[in-house]
């Protein structure tokens, strides 16, 4: 491995760790605002990763992707989230299904699992970015975990978005970005999904005066 | 020389038992019993040291003593090491027993106590020498039964009989597993000598080797109280007389460790990596849960019993790591793992023995095991307090005492995990490191509680206020173990090479006795790390002397005055204002609430006239013992169900029973015909 | 011989610098609060005054209470002999490794907690209980960070770790290294009783952790304990600084290298002190039962640090 | 982040020693610095006892710690336990319930120590004089070095009181 690739590998792993850290930071926080903030920072670092991979991987398309990504995930979605939050009130994720310390340790174990699962891939891969692959898979797990264990509809939405970030990171690190058109399609999907969820949040809030999804079981009666 | 020691040992134990039979009561009788046990243990200790030092095993066989295979005894290095453990704790317990058992005179059978105590020691001493399966099993049963009688000494106390039944049931379940294990090991020719098993084990199919492993883990694990087979341990150990508790916790459960090492490493010659992984995992879980349950315990002896579970866990972490390294052929690291496990074994024997003897002295002085009724004993029982403090520091793995040294070795063997070629396995090691560190931290917290609440501050009850120091014989017993704690901590550069020699050759381990130590300090393999508890202790002592001296030179104000405790100026301090053991453990109970699942019950009685006046508040909080509930509940239910079915077979008629025997005989003969 | 001289002078230097470091952090905090603040050297005056005062001892306390200050001070001072503050490797490097350092500090905590229980006051017991809880929960992170460092350097001996990082400067920005630093930093805050775990300047007993144990101490005993606490801060700072960013540590014993090392150490301590002061200005104290969550964060960081340096070989 | 921006913009608001010689705080403070150094090595740890005050004096005392007066720069420091203290600041008339705690606090403080009674109530019970609930001034219960009159006294007066207490203390 030459000097150039070595620096690239180091930076890619560092960036991926940072992205993952913001995902884990999510688990520690309680207020919805902190969730949004953490997501925003994570997306910012991730768009930086796009630029990084674009620069070292000599793929100018990725710069464009980075811009899209930045606009959508650092500006638009957080802004929307903030608006939603104002409308539904500042509820806190005070009682997740799994308490915070346990969530944190579980997430650590999930990342460990991700390392073990991706090990065969990483071992045969020659990419300089391979160090980040387990972290991306770990981030997907953490996102899923957030979605599963948090009670509020909004925090679940953030969990979903984090999961999507994980997929994006996997794509950019694993293949240096899939073709632009597919990527754009995915972005659009995410946006659509997000909007649908937003509508749901409104409705849940309108019906129960709360966005605690625990209340949904009342619909049975 | 060795043979003489061997004979002295056996005859001393037998004489002790005999003396107990003749005259259990009175100072002379107790003296003879104790003397027999003490001389026997001392001889055993000397014999073990001699065998380790010389490297020559001692053998003794007699075909006539036992049918089928005869008695075969062979004391090799490993056995000698465990004999040293037996001798050390046995000697201290025997000396202690002279003073301690005086209180039993007239209340309980001193005769039975004396006989069983000596016989247990004898069984333990011979156990480690057994060289064929039958001898091993017979001695194993002898050990279990004598221990059972000892547990039952205070048979009229609440819980004793129940504890005895649990103990007997668990130990026999384990015994059954051991019989099956030896049957498998003996192969088709039904050879029972260990030497032929050693040769035959390699020929077994992997499947039956795995079954042997699982049976060994169950059988020996039930004896050493690994989680989840530990439930009997915190019941049985506390109710026994304290010197017996010391022996049970310090030595008897170590026989499980002995068995595991003997079978897995010596007879089977190691196994695949997952064996080690399972042992390590069981060890880690036992260590962590053991200390967590100990934290919630306010019965001093039960607390210590849970710590035995924890320490068995730590030992198993070391042995598990050793097995993993062994399976990868990393022999030096494997030796390090086993050495750390064995070192912790003798360390745990010494400090747990010491702590149980200390707890016995406290019990002797106050008549209670409940820590919430103690306090202030450091002024009333200064020596006991000092010894207990030594034990507490040692068990909390604080330098420079022995607990730290062996935990350091366990840590080092886990750190060696980076040498394992497959990272999927290696990743177990950092997790084990985390758990071990948490365990030792929690153990320190637990012993701050145990020592602080028991010995410090103001007495919390009348009994504690009128406590008195124990008689000299009890103090002498404790002093012996306290010295052992210090010595084992300061001389690892002697102990570790000796252990290296003990392990050399077992399962193909190389002789590593030169690898690990460098004058006065310990070195991990590949020069990974080095540490010298001896120099640290010297340095600490030096600084402890230097600091006051410097303060004297600089003419620091040396005046002091005694005054009330500062409590924000309130009028008087009573013991009810002190922090209790429950309160001390409360933060940790909240932190680990997911595990403990505490139940809370608060009932307030209001004054009949106005609900603004409270007459009494009752608060009750317990932790859910979910092992008993989830694991053993269904099991017990099943056993009862089966038992009720079996009961239908019972009719009371002799004819029917004879019929059963006849049918069984017929079936057996038929099977024998076609197999 | 020079090595031993250096060893002793290093311990003396640590003794001399430690109160100043505490004063320095306090001074920065005062400045950040818009106050002039006490000069950093006030802590030295505090100590001198305390050594000159008489001691008042509770009538319930035992010999343990009077023995503890000496033990706490000695064990902490012993650690300064083992930690490479200005030079590596030191002659005492073989006497103890990182694990020993951690457990020696735990020894001090253990006895201090006992001394907190000794006078039989509720506050002392409360402090002891909390301190031990936090110390216990912080252990896994410390051990895992050590694991990460040791696997990277091939040793748990401090001198070797320093030498290894000096030899491979690229490793210092590897994720494992940075995550380990972050994990150990959080633990450092908990172990030295800084915000957001414990408030070193609180006067309210109910919010205290460390100080609640020392409420009964006075005069020279208090001076020893406070000095030991300051030393502890210095030890953790210099561990963080020299394990993860060892530049400036002298590897040869020339006067130039040593003086550079001293200056580098003071600069690093100053920088870390400033960071802590900034953090303490920014952060509120956590509720006691959120502290385990914080430590769980640090544990996860350490776990990631280990796995990334361990599984990506 | 915004917090630090604000901190950056705001200068230290403490009255500087020597910048404005007229400022009483500065003069008193410098004197305290000198005296305290002689006796207590420039550090004076204070524990405050409210023996039954109306909390008026407490307000003034706590003002000593604010950025304007910032008494910490002279080495004056409030501590939590009298075991750590050199100086007791006692406020209020001593009520019957507080007489015993006050005595205990005095007893718990290691020598050398000084006692300063703050406010009129601490001198002669002020408006609470002759009430059935009070014992009397602070000096009825423990020896007092200095009285600081005022209802409540200003922070500068309190500083001055501490100063004169340091003056009057018998040399060792």
On whether the CB atoms of residues A115 and A62 are closer than 8 A, the answer is no
Which of B566, B567, B572 has the highest number of chain D CBs within 10 A, making it the mutation to test binding with D?
A: B566
Distance CA B397, CA B394 (A): 5
**Average model confidence (pLDDT) for chain B?**
88
- CB of B554 less than 8 A from some CB of D: no
pLDDT at C225: 94
Q: What percent of chain C has pLDDT over 70?
A: 99
Most B CBs within 10 Å, among A118, A119, A121, to test the B interface: A119
B375 in Cβ contact with C121 (< 8 Å): no
Q: Is B577 on the interface with C (CB under 8 A)?
A: yes
Q: What pLDDT does B514 receive? A: 66
pLDDT computed for residue A215 by the predictor: 64
Q: Considering chain C, what is the average pLDDT of its residues?
A: 88
**Could you list the residue range(s) of the whole structural domain that residue D160 is in?**
2-168
Q: Is the pLDDT of residue A176 over 90?
A: no
Specify whether the CB–CB gap between C7 and C90 falls below 8 A: yes
Facing residue for B424 by CB, picked from A99, A101, A116: A116
When pLDDT is averaged across residues B191-217 and rounded to a whole number, the result is 87
Q: How far is B424 from chain A (nearest CA, A)?
A: 6
Alpha-carbon distance A144 to A163, whole Å? 6
Helical (H) or strand (E) element with D146: strand D146-148
Residue D16's pLDDT is what? 58
Å between A41 CA and nearest CA of chain C: 18
Q: Nearest Cβ partner of B566 from D102, D108, D111?
A: D108
Q: Which residue has the higher pLDDT, C312 or A63?
A: A63
Residue range C145-159: average pLDDT? 84
Residue B277 pLDDT greater than 80, yes or no: yes
Where helices occur in B328-427 by DSSP H, the ranges are 331-366, 377-380, 382-395, 402-415, 423-426
Q: Is pLDDT at D21 greater than 50 in this prediction?
A: no
More confident residue, B116 or A212: B116
pLDDT of residue C52: 87
Whether the per-residue pLDDT at B68 is higher than 50: the answer is yes
pLDDT at A217: 66
Q: Name the interface residues of D facing C (CB cutoff 8 Å).
A: 3-4, 7, 10-14, 16, 37, 40-43, 45, 67, 70, 72-75, 77-81, 83-84, 86, 108-112
Q: Please say whether the dihedral angle defined by the alpha carbons of residues C211, C214, C215 and C220, taken in this order, is positive or negative.
A: negative
Would an 8 Å CB–CB cutoff place B612 in contact with chain D? no
Identify the band that residue B293 occupies on the pLDDT scale cut at 50, 70 and 90: very high
Per-residue pLDDT of B117-136, as tens digits, reads 999 999 999 999 988 888 89
Query: pLDDT at residue C114 above 80?
Result: yes
**pLDDT tens column, C166-213:** 888 777 777 788 888 999 999 999 999 888 888 888 888 888 888 889
Q: Distance between CA atoms of B520 and B533, rounded to whole angstroms?
A: 8
CB contact, 8 Å: A175 with chain C? no
* Chain B CA closest to residue C109: B444
Nearest in space to B372 (alpha carbons), one of B303, B310, B443, B306: B303
Residue B630 touches partner C, C-beta closer than 8 Å: no
- pLDDT band, very low/low/confident/very high, at D22 (cuts 50, 70, 90): very low
Tokens 């004297």 belong to: B552
Optimal mutation site among D77, D83, D106, D111, interface C, most CBs of chain C within 10 A: D83
Q: What is the mean pLDDT of residues B627-643?
A: 86
Return the minimum-mean-pLDDT range out of A56-65, B159-168, D138-147.
A56-65
> Closest approach of chain A CAs to the CA of B587, in angstroms?
14
User: What letter would DSSP give residue B132?
Assistant: B
A60-64, A215-219, D92-96: least confident range: A215-219
CATH number of the domain within which D94 lies: 3.40.50.12280
Query: Is 80 exceeded by the pLDDT of residue B399?
Result: yes
- pLDDT band of D13, cuts 50, 70, 90: low
Say if the Cβ atoms of C307 and A115 lie within 8 Å.
yes
pLDDT tens readout for residues B430-444:
889 999 999 999 999
Determine, for residues B427 and A115 on separate chains, whether the beta-carbon distance falls below 8 Å. yes
Pick the residue of B556, B561, B569 with the most D CBs within 10 A to test the interface with D by mutation: B569
Q: What is the mean pLDDT of residues D44-51?
A: 90
Q: How confident is the model at residue A179 (pLDDT cuts 50, 70, 90)?
A: low
Provide the pLDDT confidence category of residue C6 given band limits of 50, 70 and 90. Answer: confident
pLDDT-based confidence at D17, cuts 50/70/90? Answer: low
What is the interface pTM, i.e. ipTM, of the complex? 0.90
Cβ neighbour number for residue A5 with a 10 Å cutoff: 15
Give me the pLDDT at residue B39, please: 93
Q: What is the predicted pLDDT for the residue at D172?
A: 42
Q: Which residues of C touch D45 (CB under 8 A)?
A: 46
The per-residue pLDDT for range A17-66, each reduced to its tens digit, is 888 888 888 888 877 788 888 888 998 998 888 888 888 878 787 888 88
User: Chain A residues with CB inside 8 Å of B431's CB?
Assistant: 112
pLDDT in tens, A123-148: 777 777 777 888 888 898 988 888 88
B204-208, C238-242, D65-69, range with the lowest pLDDT: D65-69
The predicted structure's pLDDT at residue C86: 86
Q: Does the structure show a pLDDT above 90 at B349? A: yes
**Minimum-distance CB partner of B424 among A99, A102, A119:** A119
Torsion of CA D15, D20, D25, D31, to 10 degrees: 120
Predicted local distance difference test score (pLDDT) of residue D34: 65
pLDDT exceeds cutoff 80 at C160:
yes
For residue B246, pLDDT beyond 60: yes
Which is more confidently placed, C3 or C239?
Answer: C239
Q: pLDDT (tens digit, 9 = 90+) per residue, B472-528?
A: 999 999 999 999 999 999 988 888 888 888 888 888 888 776 667 666 777 777 777
What phi-psi label fits residue B549: left (phi over 0), alpha (psi between -120 and 50 degrees) or beta?
Answer: alpha
Instruction: Report the Cα–Cα distance between both ends of chain D, in Å, rounded.
Output: 52
pLDDT at A89: 67
CB atoms D110 and C278 under 8 Å: no
Q: Quick one: average pLDDT of C218-226?
A: 92
Greater confidence (B594 vs C17) lies with C17
Record the pTM.
0.92
Residue A74 has pLDDT above 60, yes or no: yes
Q: Tell whether B568 lies on the interface with D, counting CB pairs under 8 A.
A: yes
* Three-state secondary structure call for residue D154: coil
Task: Report which of residues B189 and C272 the model is more confident about.
Answer: C272
Query: Given B559, B561, B564, which is nearest D104 (Cβ)?
Result: B564
Query: How many Å is the maximal CA-CA distance in chain B?
Result: 96
Q: Rounded CA gap, B552 and B532, in Å?
A: 30
Count up the domains in chain D and report the number. 1
Mean pLDDT of chain D: 81
Please say if the pLDDT value at position B352 is more than 50.
yes
């Amino acid at each position: 491995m030459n000097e150039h690739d070595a620096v690239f590998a180091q930076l890619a792993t560092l960036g991926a760790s940072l992205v993952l850290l913001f995902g884990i930071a999510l688990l520690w926080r309680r207020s919805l605002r902190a969730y949004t903030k953490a997501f925003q920072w994570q997306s910012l670092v991730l768009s930086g990763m796009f630029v990084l991979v674009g620069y070292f991987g000599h793929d100018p398309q990725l710069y464009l992707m980075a811009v899209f990504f930045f606009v959508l995930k650092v500006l638009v979605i957080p802004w929307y989230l903030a608006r939603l939050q104002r409308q539904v009130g500042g509820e806190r994720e005070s009682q997740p299904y799994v308490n915070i310390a346990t969530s944190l340790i579980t997430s650590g174990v999930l990342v460990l699992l991700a390392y073990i699962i991706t090990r065969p891939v990483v071992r045969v891969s020659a990419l300089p970015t391979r160090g980040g692959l387990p972290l991306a898979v770990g981030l997907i797990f953490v996102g899923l975990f957030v979605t599963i264990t948090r009670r509020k509809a909004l925090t679940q939405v953030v969990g979903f978005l984090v999961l999507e970030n994980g997929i994006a990171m996997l794509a950019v690190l694993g293949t240096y970005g899939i073709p632009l058109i597919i990527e754009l399609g995915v972005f659009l999907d995410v946006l659509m999904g997000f909007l649908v969820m937003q509508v749901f949040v409104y409705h849940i809030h309108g019906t129960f005066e709360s966005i605690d999804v625990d209340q949904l079981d009342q619909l049975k009666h | 020389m060795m043979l003489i020691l061997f004979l002295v040992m056996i005859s001393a134990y037998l004489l002790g038992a005999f003396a107990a039979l003749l005259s259990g009561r009175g100072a002379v009788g107790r003296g003879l019993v104790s003397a027999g046990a003490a001389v026997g243990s001392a001889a055993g200790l000397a014999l073990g040291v001699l065998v380790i030092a010389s490297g020559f095993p001692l053998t003794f066989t007699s075909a006539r003593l036992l049918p089928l295979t005869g008695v075969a005894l062979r004391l090799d290095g490993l056995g000698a090491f465990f004999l040293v453990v037996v001798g050390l704790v046995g000697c201290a317990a025997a000396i202690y027993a002279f003073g301690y058992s005086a209180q039993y005179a007239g209340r309980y059978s001193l005769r039975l106590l004396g006989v069983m105590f000596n016989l247990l020691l004898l069984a333990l001493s011979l156990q480690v020498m057994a060289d064929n399966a039958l001898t091993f099993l017979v001695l194993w049963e002898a050990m279990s039964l004598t221990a059972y009688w000892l547990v039952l000494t205070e048979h009229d106390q609440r819980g004793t009989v129940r504890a005895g039944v649990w103990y007997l049931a668990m130990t026999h379940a384990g015994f059954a597993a051991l019989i099956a294990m030896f049957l498998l090991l003996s192969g088709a020719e039904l050879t029972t000598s260990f030497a032929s098993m050693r040769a035959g084990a390699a020929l077994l199919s992997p499947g039956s080797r795995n079954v042997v492993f699982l049976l060994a883990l169950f059988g020996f694990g039930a004896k050493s109280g690994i989680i989840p087979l530990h439930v009997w341990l915190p019941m049985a150990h506390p109710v026994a007389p304290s010197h017996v508790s010391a022996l049970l916790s310090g030595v008897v459960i170590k026989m499980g460790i002995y068995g595991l090492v003997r079978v897995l490493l010596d007879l089977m010659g190691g196994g695949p990596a997952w064996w080690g992984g399972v042992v390590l995992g069981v060890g880690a879980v036992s260590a962590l849960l053991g200390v967590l349950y100990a934290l919630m315990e306010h019965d001093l002896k039960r607390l210590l019993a849970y710590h035995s579970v924890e320490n068995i866990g730590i030992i198993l972490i070391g042995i598990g790591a050793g097995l993993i390294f062994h399976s990868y052929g990393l022999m030096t690291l494997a030796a390090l793992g086993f050495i750390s496990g064995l070192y912790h074994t003798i360390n745990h024997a010494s400090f747990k023995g010491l702590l149980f003897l200390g707890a016995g002295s406290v019990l002797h002085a106050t008549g209670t095991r409940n820590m919430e009724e103690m306090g202030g004993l450091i002024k009333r029982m200064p020596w006991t307090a000092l010894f207990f403090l030594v034990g507490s520091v040692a068990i909390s793995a604080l330098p420079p005492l022995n607990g730290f040294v062996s935990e350091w070795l366990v840590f080092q063997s886990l750190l060696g995990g980076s040498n394992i070629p497959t990272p999927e396995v290696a990743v177990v090691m950092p997790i084990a490191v985390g758990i071990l560190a948490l365990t030792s931290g929690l153990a320190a917290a637990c012993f701050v509680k145990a020592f602080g609440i028991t010995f410090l501050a103001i007495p919390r009850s009348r009994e504690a206020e009128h406590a008195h120091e124990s008689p000299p014989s009890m103090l002498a017993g404790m002093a012996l173990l306290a010295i052992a704690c210090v010595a084992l901590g300061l001389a690892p550069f002697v102990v570790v090479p000796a252990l290296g020699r003990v392990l050399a050759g077992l399962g193909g381990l190389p002789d590593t006795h030169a690898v690990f130590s460098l004058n006065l300090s310990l070195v991990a393999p590949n020069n990974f790390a080095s540490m010298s508890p001896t120099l640290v202790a010297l340095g600490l002592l030096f600084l402890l002397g230097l600091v006051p001296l410097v303060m004297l030179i600089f003419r620091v104000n040396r005046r002091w005055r005694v005054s009330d405790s500062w409590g924000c100026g309130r009028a008087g301090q009573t013991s009810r204002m002190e922090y209790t053991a429950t309160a001390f453990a409360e933060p940790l109970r909240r932190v680990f609430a997911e595990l403990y699942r505490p139940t809370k019950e608060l009932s307030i009685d209001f004054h009949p006239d106005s609900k603004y006046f409270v007459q009494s508040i009752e608060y009750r909080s317990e932790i859910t013992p979910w092992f008993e509930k989830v694991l053993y509940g269904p099991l017990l239910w099943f056993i009862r169900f089966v038992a009720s079915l079996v009961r239908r077979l019972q009719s009371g008629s002799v004819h029917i029973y004879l019929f059963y025997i006849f049918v069984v005989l017929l079936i057996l003969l038929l099977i024998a015909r076609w197999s | 011989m020079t090595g031993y001289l250096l060893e002793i002078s290093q311990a003396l230097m640590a003794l001399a610098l430690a109160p100043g470091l505490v004063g320095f952090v306090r001074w920065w905090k005062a400045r950040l609060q818009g106050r002039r603040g006490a000069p950093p050297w006030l802590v030295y005056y505090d100590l001198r005054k305390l050594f000159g005062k008489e001691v008042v001892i509770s009538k319930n306390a035992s010999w343990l209470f009077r023995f503890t200050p000496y033990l706490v001070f000695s064990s902490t001072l012993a650690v300064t002999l083992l930690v490479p503050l200005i030079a590596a490797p030191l002659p005492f490097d073989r006497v103890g490794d990182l694990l020993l350092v951690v457990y020696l500090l735990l020894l001090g905590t253990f006895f201090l907690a006992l001394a907190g229980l000794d006078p039989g006051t509720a506050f002392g017991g409360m402090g002891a209980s909390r301190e031990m809880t936090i110390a216990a929960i912080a252990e896994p992170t410390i051990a895992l960070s050590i694991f990460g460092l040791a696997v990277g350097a091939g040793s748990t001996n401090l001198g070797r770790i320093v030498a290894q990082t000096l030899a491979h400067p690229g490793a210092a920005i590897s994720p494992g290294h940075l995550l380990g630093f972050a994990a150990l930093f959080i633990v450092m805050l908990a172990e030295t009783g800084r915000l957001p775990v414990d408030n070193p300047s609180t006067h309210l007993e109910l919010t205290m952790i460390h100080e609640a144990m020392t409420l009964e101490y006075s005069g020279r005993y208090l001076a020893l304990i406070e000095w030991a606490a300051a030393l502890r801060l210095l030890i953790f700072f210099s561990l963080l600084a020299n394990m993860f960013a060892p530049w400036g540590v002298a590897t040869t014993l020339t006067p130039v290298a040593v003086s550079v090392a001293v200056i580098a150490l003071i600069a690093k301590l100053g920088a870390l002190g400033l960071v802590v002061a900034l953090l303490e200005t920014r952060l509120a104290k956590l509720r006691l039962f959120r502290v385990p969550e914080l430590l769980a964060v640090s544990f996860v960081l350490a776990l990631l640090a280990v796995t990334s340096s361990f599984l990506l070989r | 982040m915004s917090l630090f921006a604000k901190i950056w913009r705001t200068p230290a608001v403490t009255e500087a020693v020597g910048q404005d010689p007229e400022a009483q705080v500065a003069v008193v403070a410098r004197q305290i610095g000198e005296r305290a150094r002689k006796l207590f090595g420039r550090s004076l740890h204070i524990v405050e006892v409210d023996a039954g005050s109306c909390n008026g004096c407490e307000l003034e005392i706590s003002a000593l710690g604010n950025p304007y007066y910032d008494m910490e720069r002279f080495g004056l420091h409030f501590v939590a336990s009298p075991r750590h203290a050199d100086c007791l600041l006692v406020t209020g008339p001593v009520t019957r319930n507080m007489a015993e705690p006050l005595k205990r606090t005095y007893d718990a403080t290691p020598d050398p120590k000084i006692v300063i009674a703050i406010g009129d109530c601490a001198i002669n019970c002020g408006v609470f004089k002759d009430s059935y609930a009070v014992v009397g001034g602070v000096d009825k219960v423990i020896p007092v070095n200095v009285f600081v009159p005022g209802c409540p006294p200003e922070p500068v007066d309190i500083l001055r009181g501490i100063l004169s207490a340091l003056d009057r203390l018998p040399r060792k």
